[in-house]
């Protein structure tokens, strides 16, 4: 039997478990939030399921397809779905940052790299069976750890449910968290200069 | 469920849903008639008649085109990557339409017997501006995937060009928007519009265009580039790349790229109208109208402003020749980027002295342009045109029968 089917089964079962876990978490959240935010109708639940299926389905596509560009497209939908999930949870800033940084920035570069290196749509990526088995095992272990954390973590359902406003966020970044913020900027600058140095043509 | 619907209908959510059902068909119709308009404008600029057979003045031409697109044989190149080939036009159109959600179309509407006014806007996000920027950044995928999945080298080059172009022009676009964000201190589009409804000397509306004209020009250039319109339409450059990224597309799939491009134009125009031209603000009326007729008037004014922008897009397309690719990149990285950075710095200085949105903004913008012009001419900085490091004109092999 092909190893691919084992992976299928593992991924499907794990995604089903994850979906149910997320669903219960959301139900608790909305029950607690109902006191503060009155508008939590059935729409949220419907959108949650649609998004969850989209995220997990595209993640599955990444794992199972053989073409590298199709994997990138799967990643696009996966990242996009996470961004929409942030929107659903009213964390608009996080959602937009997810869109700008991951979907609009990093993924474009990934797609660029793939396109410049792969020659034709018909090149398929072949995974050796041994590799498939080890990755499957590692993913299973990771899933077990994550599932354990998901079920046993003390989720706070009584804390402040209202999202942090843009104002507070900006103020925080420029006052309390200025040093980490600047540090991240410096690191990115160093990376950029390094990349430019590496990509520069040698002077002859 | 019924109770819930009834409750929702009198709230912002219900109103937003209704608005969505109005906005999407309206924009799609607008897109259809933009194609008609484009052909008429091009005909006018080239001293021709344009479409005039289908219906009076050719007004039924978009309908006829739509029918034609639907009935055409829908074929696919043999070597295409099927799912991506089908997905690309959908992405192109779908992503372009996402931007419609946050545009404030007509202020707010106060129906009788309702405590709070309803926003004439599908989603009043806190960070509507950032959302529009993020959604604009996604526009590249449709083009790139189309180019790649067609299994055609011309299409592929078109896709790559589009990707490089869009990624580059996003940066000056973001910086010129940053100027407005800093000056107004707002990320909500409706608040930015509201801020512009005040008057100077009792008659001149405080539109940002009067304060930040240079930022507007930079933003306009970037929107042209982001929508892949001429003179930046290198992704579909006919002379070099056959049809560019959509070489292998036909029938409705091709039409969806077209719809995506025009929707992108409408969203981009609405964006610029909101940031620089006071959005739904009617110049004669000082304050916001919340009655039904007032809102309709504001909607009409918004539509008129967007139409003017679309006309300018077309005017430019049929007037200016296309850039060369190296010129395009140089214009972005050496021309627009430093200037827009300098403009952002100038606004920060104005904020430091607490004089944003005053005549100092105009002075600052003009000053930056003056300094840039002086620097370019003094240090002979190449921004467009022929470059000093390209082969020397005088050392070229002369053409037969004459000197260079």
**DSSP, res A164:** P
- Interface probe for A, chosen from B161, B187, B333 (most Cβ of A below 10 Å), is B187
Nearest chain A residue to B171 by CA distance is A105
Confidence label for B4 from pLDDT (cuts 50, 70 and 90) = low
Q: Which residue has the higher pLDDT, B188 or A155?
A: B188
Give the pLDDT confidence score for residue A39 in this predicted structure: 45
Give the pLDDT confidence score for residue A141 in this predicted structure: 92
Q: Could you report the predicted ipTM of this complex, rounded to two decimals?
A: 0.77
d(CA B343, CA B69): 46
Mean pLDDT across A131-151: 87
Task: Tell whether the model's pLDDT for residue B388 goes beyond 80.
Answer: no
Name the token pair of B26: 């309206």
A-chain CB neighbours of B84 within 8 Å are 69-70, 73, 121
Give the pLDDT confidence score for residue A32 in this predicted structure: 47
Give the pLDDT confidence score for residue A1 in this predicted structure: 42
B-chain CB neighbours of A125 within 8 Å are none
Helix axes B140-149, B128-138, angle to 10 degrees: 10
Tens of pLDDT, residues B6-51: 566 667 777 777 788 888 888 888 888 888 888 888 898 888 888 8
Of A92-101, A161-170, A173-182, least confident by mean pLDDT is A161-170
Strands B204-205 and B118-119: unpaired
Confidence label for A197 from pLDDT (cuts 50, 70 and 90) = confident
Q: What percent of chain A has pLDDT over 70?
A: 70
Q: Which residue has the higher pLDDT, B118 or B336?
A: B336
Q: How many CB atoms lie within 10 A of CB B275?
A: 28
The rounded mean pLDDT for chain B is 82
Of A163-167, A170-174, B262-266, B278-282, least confident by mean pLDDT is A163-167
Q: How far is A158 from chain B (nearest CA, A)?
A: 24
Instruction: Tell me the CA distances in angstroms from A33 to A29, A40, B59, B178, B307, one per residue in order.
Output: 6, 8, 53, 35, 44
Task: Tell whether the model's pLDDT for residue B230 goes beyond 80.
Answer: no
Give the pLDDT confidence score for residue B404 in this predicted structure: 44
Give the pLDDT confidence score for residue B227 in this predicted structure: 85
A-chain CB neighbours of B149 within 8 Å are 69, 121
The answer to whether residues B118 and B166 touch, using CB atoms and an 8 Å cutoff, is no
Interchain contact, B160 vs A69, CB within 8 Å:
no
Task: Tell whether the model's pLDDT for residue B169 goes beyond 50.
Answer: yes
Tens of pLDDT, residues A30-80: 544 444 343 456 777 888 888 889 998 998 888 887 777 788 888 888 988
Nearest CB among A100, A112, A121 relative to B137 is that of A100
Q: How far is A152 from chain B (nearest CA, A)?
A: 34
Confidence label for B287 from pLDDT (cuts 50, 70 and 90) = low
Interchain contact, B4 vs A99, CB within 8 Å:
no
Nearest chain A residue to B130 by CA distance is A96
- B329 closest CA partner among B165, B219, B215: B165
Tens of pLDDT, residues B321-330: 888 777 888 8
Mean pLDDT across B221-237: 82
Task: Tell whether the model's pLDDT for residue B163 goes beyond 70.
Answer: yes
- Interface probe for B, chosen from A54, A58, A104 (most Cβ of B below 10 Å), is A104
Domain A1-135 class in CATH: mainly alpha
- A158 three-class SS: coil
Mean pLDDT across A178-186: 91
Give the pLDDT confidence score for residue B101 in this predicted structure: 85
Q: Is the peptide bond before B160 cis (omega within 30 degrees of 0)?
A: no
Q: Which residue has the higher pLDDT, A137 or B8?
A: A137
Task: Tell whether the model's pLDDT for residue B316 goes beyond 50.
Answer: yes
Name the token pair of B27: 């924009």
- Interface probe for B, chosen from A80, A115, A174, A192 (most Cβ of B below 10 Å), is A115
Q: How far is A120 from chain B (nearest CA, A)?
A: 7
Nearest chain B residue to A93 by CA distance is B127
Confidence label for A190 from pLDDT (cuts 50, 70 and 90) = very high
Name the token pair of B202: 């009792």
Give the pLDDT confidence score for residue A25 in this predicted structure: 54
Interchain contact, B130 vs A108, CB within 8 Å:
no
Interchain contact, A92 vs B81, CB within 8 Å:
no
- B178 closest CA partner among B164, B192, B190, B167: B192
Mean pLDDT across B349-355: 86
Q: How many CB atoms lie within 10 A of CB B149?
A: 30
Q: How far is A181 from chain B (nearest CA, A)?
A: 19
Q: How far is A190 from chain B (nearest CA, A)?
A: 19
Of A39-48, A81-90, B328-337, least confident by mean pLDDT is A39-48
Q: How far is A53 from chain B (nearest CA, A)?
A: 18
Q: How far is B137 from chain A (nearest CA, A)?
A: 5
Task: Tell whether the model's pLDDT for residue B56 goes beyond 50.
Answer: yes
A-chain CB neighbours of B79 within 8 Å are 120-122
Give the pLDDT confidence score for residue A183 in this predicted structure: 92
Phi, psi of B204 (to 5 degrees): -90, 115
B-chain CB neighbours of A103 within 8 Å are 134, 137-138
Q: How many CB pairs under 8 A join A and B?
A: 81
Name the token pair of A24: 């219960």
The answer to whether residues B340 and B172 touch, using CB atoms and an 8 Å cutoff, is yes
A-chain CB neighbours of B235 within 8 Å are none
Mean pLDDT across B55-59: 83
Interface residues from chain B to A (CB-CB < 8 Å): 1, 4, 8, 13, 79-81, 83-84, 87, 125-127, 130-131, 133-135, 137-138, 140-141, 144-145, 148-149, 151, 156, 159-160, 163, 167, 170, 187
Nearest CB among A69, A108, A120 relative to B167 is that of A108
d(CA B269, CA B348): 26
pTM of the model: 0.81
Interchain contact, B84 vs A70, CB within 8 Å:
yes
Q: How far is B38 from chain A (nearest CA, A)?
A: 30
Nearest chain A residue to B125 by CA distance is A92
Task: Tell whether the model's pLDDT for residue B132 goes beyond 50.
Answer: yes
B-chain CB neighbours of A93 within 8 Å are 126-127, 130
Tens of pLDDT, residues B78-101: 877 788 888 888 888 888 888 888
Task: Tell whether the model's pLDDT for residue A186 goes beyond 90.
Answer: yes
Interface residues from chain A to B (CB-CB < 8 Å): 39, 41-42, 67, 69-70, 73, 76, 80, 92-93, 96, 99-100, 103-105, 108, 111-112, 115-116, 120-122, 165-166
Sequence ranges of the domains in chain A: 1-135, 165-204
Sequence ranges of the domains in chain B: 2-320
Give the pLDDT confidence score for residue A34 in this predicted structure: 45
């Amino acid at each position: 039997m092909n190893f691919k089917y084992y992976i299928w089964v593992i991924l499907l079962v794990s995604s089903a478990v994850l979906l149910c876990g997320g669903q219960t978490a959301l139900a608790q959240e909305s029950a607690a939030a109902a006191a503060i935010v009155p508008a939590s109708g059935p729409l949220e639940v419907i959108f949650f399921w649609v998004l969850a299926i989209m995220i997990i389905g595209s993640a599955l596509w990444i794992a199972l397809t053989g073409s590298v560009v199709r994997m990138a497209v799967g990643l696009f939908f996966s990242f996009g779905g996470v961004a929409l999930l942030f929107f659903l949870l009213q964390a608009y800033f996080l959602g937009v940052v997810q869109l700008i940084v991951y979907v609009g920035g990093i993924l474009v570069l990934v797609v660029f790299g793939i396109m410049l290196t792969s020659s034709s749509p018909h090149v398929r990526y072949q995974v050796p069976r041994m590799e498939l088995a080890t990755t499957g095992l590692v993913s299973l272990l990771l899933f077990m750890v994550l599932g354990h954390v998901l079920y046993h973590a003390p989720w706070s359902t009584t804390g402040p449910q209202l999202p942090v406003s843009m104002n507070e966020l900006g103020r925080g970044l420029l006052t309390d968290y200025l040093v980490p913020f600047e540090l991240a900027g410096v690191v990115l600058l160093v990376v950029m200069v390094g990349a430019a140095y590496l990509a520069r043509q040698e002077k002859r | 469920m019924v109770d819930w619907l009834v409750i929702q209908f009198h709230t912002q959510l219900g109103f937003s849903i209704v608005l969505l059902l109005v906005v999407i068909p309206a924009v799609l119709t607008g897109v259809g008639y933009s194609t008609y308009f484009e052909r008429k404008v091009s005909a006018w600029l080239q001293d021709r008649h344009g479409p005039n057979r289908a219906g009076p003045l050719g007004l039924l031409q978009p309908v006829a085109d739509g029918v034609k697109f639907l009935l055409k044989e829908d074929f696919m190149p043999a070597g295409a990557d099927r799912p991506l080939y089908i997905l690309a036009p959908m992405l192109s159109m779908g992503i372009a339409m996402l931007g419609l959600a946050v545009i404030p179309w007509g202020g707010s509407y106060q129906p009788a017997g309702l405590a709070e006014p309803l926003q004439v806007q599908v989603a009043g996000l806190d960070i509507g501006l950032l959302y529009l920027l993020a959604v604009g950044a996604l526009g590249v995928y449709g083009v790139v995937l189309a180019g790649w999945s067609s299994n055609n080298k011309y299409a592929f080059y078109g896709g790559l060009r589009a990707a490089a172009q869009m990624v580059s022009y996003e940066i000056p676009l973001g910086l010129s928007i940053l100027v407005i964000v800093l000056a107004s201190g707002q990320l909500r589009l409706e608040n930015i519009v509201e801020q512009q409804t005040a008057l100077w000397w009792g008659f001149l509306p405080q539109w940002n265009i009067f304060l930040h004209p240079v930022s507007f020009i930079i933003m306009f250039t970037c929107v042209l580039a982001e929508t892949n319109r001429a003179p930046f339409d290198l992704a579909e450059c006919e002379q070099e790349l056959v049809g560019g990224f959509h070489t292998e597309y036909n029938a409705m799939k091709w039409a969806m790229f077209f719809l995506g491009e025009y929707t992108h134009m409408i969203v981009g125009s609405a964006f610029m109208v909101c940031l620089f031209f006071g959005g739904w603000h009617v110049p004669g009326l000082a304050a916001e109208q919340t009655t039904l007729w007032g809102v309709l008037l504001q909607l009409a004014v918004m539509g008129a402003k967007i139409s003017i922008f679309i006309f300018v897009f077309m005017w430019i397309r049929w007037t200016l020749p296309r850039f060369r690719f190296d010129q395009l990149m140089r214009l972005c990285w050496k021309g627009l980027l430093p200037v827009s950075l300098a403009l952002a710095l100038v606004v920060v200085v104005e904020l430091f002295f607490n004089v944003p949105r005053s005549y100092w903004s105009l002075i600052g913008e003009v000053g930056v342009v003056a300094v840039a012009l002086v620097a370019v001419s003094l240090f002979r900085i190449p921004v467009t045109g022929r470059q000093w490091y390209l082969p020397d004109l005088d050392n070229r092999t002369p053409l037969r029968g004459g000197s260079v």
